[in-house]
Amino acid sequence: MTIIKNKAIFALAIGAFALHPFAGKAQTENKDWITKSNTYTKIFIDLDEKYSPEFGSSQGLAFYDTLISVPTEANNLAQRKEKESAVVQLKTAKQKETDLKIKQDLIY
């Protein structure tokens, strides 16, 4: 009798949750902002993979397996210049961005 009663309570709880007005909202919400936010993130990921291909290889990207980083002063300066440019690009994007979900992902 107790098992049947517990199953009935469980079934009612599941049914009540399914009828909740917000139960399916997360699944139907527009996710375009995630794609746009990911494009900003990709700027720094691409720089890491360009100047530290071992990083890309460690992430399972076979393209980078044959590449190695070259820690010369010229490469360090080039990387720094590109990162500074990326920071300026992200700051500009943050100022222009109207979607708060994307704006909060822009750290600069």
The CA distance from 49 to 45, in Å, is 6
Nearest to 41, CA basis, from 8, 97, 6, 90 = 90
CA-to-CA distance for 52 and 69, rounded, in angstroms? Answer: 5
- Is residue 33 within 8 A of residue 99, CB to CB? The reply is yes
Per residue in 1-37, pLDDT (tens digit) is: 444 544 544 444 445 444 455 555 555 578 999 999 9
**pLDDT tens-place string over residues 85-107:** 999 999 999 999 999 999 998 87
Q: Which amino acid is at 6?
A: N
Helices (H) and strands (E) in the chain, counts: 6, 0
> Structure pTM?
0.63
